[in-house]
Structure 1
Amino acid sequence: MAQALLTGTKLRLVFQVGMDEEGKPIMKSKTFSNVKKDSTTDQLFQAAIAISGLTNDMLNNLERNDTSEILAE
C-alpha cells in the first residue's frame, strides 16, 4: 500500500485586470510559495482577501495547490 506525504502548498490568486477588444476578461495570476501546509481554507481565504486589497484589480479566483510525494510502504 502507498502513502501520500504532503510536501508543499502554494496559494494562487487570479485577478481580472481588464477587458480585451472583444469584451473578454484579461486574467493575470500571482502564486505564493512556502504557504504553511496546515493552513485552513478559511485562513487562505482571509489571506487572499487581504492581498487583493493591496491591488486595484478584481480577485476572480483563488486556488490552493498541494504537492505530495507518494511513498511505498
Structure 2
Amino acid sequence: MATKINLGDKVRISFDYGLDLDGKQIIKRKAFSIISGATDDQVYTAALNYASLSEKSLVEIEKIENYELQA
C-alpha cells in the first residue's frame, strides 16, 4: 500500500494585471511556503493581508498541498 509524505504546502495568490493587446486577461501569481500546522483560515487571512498591500486586484487564492507517494 502506498504512503504519502508531505513535502510542504504553499499558498498561491493571483492578481489581475489588466488586458494584453489581444484582450486576454493578464494574471500574475506569487507563491509562498506555508508554516506547518497553519489552519486554512490562517492561510486565507494571511493571503488576504498580503493581497491588500498590492495595487492590483486579487483574483484567486489557492492552497497547494505537495506530497510524495512511496510504496
TM over 0.5, shorter chain: yes
Give me the whole-angstrom Cα distance separating, in 2, the residues matched to 1:49 and 1:28. 16
Runs of 5+ unmatched residues, structure 1: none
Aligned match of 1:30: 30
Counterpart residue identity of residue 41, structure 1: D
Alpha-carbon contact 1:5-1:70 (below 8 Å) kept: yes
Runs of 5+ unmatched residues, structure 2: none
Per the TM alignment, residue 38 of structure 1 is displaced from its structure 2 partner at its CA by 2.3
Aligned match of 1:13: 13
Per the TM alignment, residue 68 of structure 1 is displaced from its structure 2 partner at its CA by 1.0
In the alignment of these two chains, the number of paired residues is 71
Per the TM alignment, residue 71 of structure 1 is displaced from its structure 2 partner at its CA by 2.5
Per the TM alignment, residue 7 of structure 1 is displaced from its structure 2 partner at its CA by 1.7
- The C-alpha deviation readout for 1:19-51, integer Å capped at 9, x for no partner, is 223443211011112x12322221111011100
- The C-alpha deviation readout for 1:37-70, integer Å capped at 9, x for no partner, is 3222211110111001111011101111111122
- Over the aligned positions, Cα root-mean-square deviation in angstroms equals 1.5
> Helix, strand or coil for the counterpart of 1:56?
coil
Give me the whole-angstrom Cα distance separating, in 2, the residues matched to 1:11 and 1:4. 20
